[in-house]
Every structure is written in C-alpha cells, then in structure tokens.
Structure 1
Amino acid sequence: MASISFTLPIFLTIIFFLPLKIIPTIGTNADETRIHFYYQERTKPPNATAIKVVSSPIEHANPIFAFGNIFVFDDPITEDLDPASHLLGRVQGQLVIVSLDGNDGLYTLNIHFTNLSPWTGSTLTVIGRNPTQQTVKELPVVGGTGLFRLARGYVVVTRLTPIDSPSGILTFLVNATLFNH
C-alpha cells in the first residue's frame, strides 16, 4: 500500500506539469511574414492565361459559373497594378465550380516567386473555398516550399476589375499573412 500512496502523488505531479511544459512551446517558432502583390488574368485569346478545360453539361443562368466547370490558370505576379511592371513570379492553379448554384468554387493554387528576394524559388500553396460572386475572398495557406516550408496563414484576394471586363483582363490584389517555421 505504501508504494501506491507514493506513486500516486508522483503520477499526479507528472500529469499536472507535463501540459505546462508543452503549452508554452506551441507556436513560439513561427515568424510572421506579410507580402503584397498583384496578378493579372487574361481570359481572352490569343494571350489567355486562364482557360476553361471542362464545360458543365448543366444549363446555368451564368455559363461561366455552371456546376462542374473547371478552369486552369498561369497568371503573372507583378509588384503593382501595371501588367508591365516588375514580374515577381506566377500564380498557377485551378478553379472547379463545386456548388449547384455556381456561387462556390474550389480554388487550388501555387504562388511561385521567381524574382522576389529573399523568397525567389519559394512557393506558397493555397487551397480553399472561393465564393465566386464576392469581390474579396479569404483563402487558407496550407503549406509551401523553400523559405515557406511548413507555412501557414491566409491570403486575402481582392478582384479589382469586374468579372466580365470587356478587355478580358482581370486584376487581383493579394495580401498574404504567413506564419512559417
């Protein structure tokens, strides 16, 4: 019986202090990084950077956002609004319209920095719900490569031009907040 009464206080002490040792270490190695850039998407030939690769067989009031449509894109990242400004990299990915009403898409994209020091060669991976009718969207960053390995965070993407722009050029502002290890 003496061994039980001695072991129980030790066991309770370990159970009490173990979480206190673990809790302060959570998230202490994360560095916050904020990046601001633009990307331009061209939807009209001959220099289209976004195309529809699968068309839905379902009739929809707005055929662009018909359930089942799949788009792929490879858009230039620039440091300001002017498409001719300094090229920083590419936004490459896909959009799949996943809701019957066309209001939601699944966005998967890689943001690849080819000329933005110190992140040249690094990528961010973003996967999430894209509310197609909203001008401002928040999407989760789920990882990355290079200096963004194990990155977490979010991007706020703001469409600066109308979705039905007569020029066929859509301009987006991206503000990324990252917590990388």
Structure 2
Amino acid sequence: IRFYLHDQFTGSNRTSAVVLPPLNNETLFGQVAIIDDKLTKESPINSKLVGRAKGFLVLDSLSSSSFLQSMTVELEGRKGTIVFHGQNPFTESQREIAIVGGTGEFRNVQGYALTSSVGSEP
C-alpha cells in the first residue's frame, strides 16, 4: 500500500495542531501535536484522496531530531484500520515505523512502513 500523507500545520486548512507547547524552545522537547491528515494517491495535495491518518506526535527527545508517532490510518473503500507506532527520526532521508496492528480486514497485521519526506507546500 502506498500513499502520501499531507501534514498541514499552518494556514486555514490545518490538519495538525500543537496541543501542548514545548518545555524547551531549542529542542522542542515536550511538544505534543494531534493530526487528522489527508492521505492521497500521488504527491500533490490535490490528487485523489485515499484516506486519513489520525493520531498524535510527541517530541520526546532532548538530544535528537526525533518524535514518537502514533496514528491510525483509515483507507477509503477498505473495511478496517492500520495502526502505526514508533520513533520517527524526521531528519533521516528514509525512516521505518512499526505497524503494530489493525482492525477489520487488517486485523492482526504487523510489520513496518518505509517513510520519507518528499517536500512541502506553502
């Protein structure tokens, strides 16, 4: 399964929000954000919507550029969800995050997802 997650943290169409500010502005340690992000078939944000990713991010490291990510993915036309959970070292070009479970047709799913950042739009 391949999709593009669009995390819009500014503007009028925001899909994420900081709900707890950082304890330290240099590292952002302690910041917590919630997400309800679009998933699309292709990279452009206006490409076909294929689902949503809902969850939270916690900047939980004093010494690295990493956050704890926990999200549930709902795909259109599919019955069930996929749950992702783990560290996301966002400065690395390619990352892995654990797939820890699912519901419906994804019940008992496990494994990992390869992720990378492909760019950002204003």
Which residue of the partner structure matches residue 66 of structure 1? 28
Higher relative contact order (CA 8 A, sep 6+): 1
Distance 1:104 1:123 in 2: 25
Which residue of the partner structure matches residue 144 of structure 1? 102
Residue deviations 1:64-123, cap 9 Å, x none? Answer: x511000111111111112222211101111101111352211101111123xxxx1321
Give the structure-2-normalised TM-score: 0.91
Mark the runs of 5 or more structure 1 residues left unpaired by the alignment. 1-34, 168-181
Q: 1:85 to 1:66 in 2, by over 3 A?
A: same
Distance 2:44 2:72 in 1: 22
Confirm whether residue 53 of structure 1 aligns to residue 15 of structure 2: no
C-alpha root-mean-square deviation of aligned residues, in Å?
Answer: 1.5
Which residue of the partner structure matches residue 86 of structure 2? 128
Confirm whether residue 85 of structure 1 aligns to residue 47 of structure 2: yes
Give the structure-1-normalised TM-score: 0.63
How many residues in Structure 1 have an aligned counterpart in Structure 2? 122
Confirm whether residue 44 of structure 1 aligns to residue 6 of structure 2: no
Worse overlay, 69-78 or 100-109: 100-109
Distance 2:64 2:31 in 1: 9
Give the number of the structure whose alpha-carbon radius of gyration is greater.
1
Mark the runs of 5 or more structure 2 residues left unpaired by the alignment. none
Distance 2:93 2:47 in 1: 23
1:1-181 to 2 correspondences below 5 Å: 35-60=1-26, 65-115=27-77, 120-161=78-119, 165=120, 167=122
Structure with greater helix percent: 1
1:41 Cα deviation after fit? 1.5
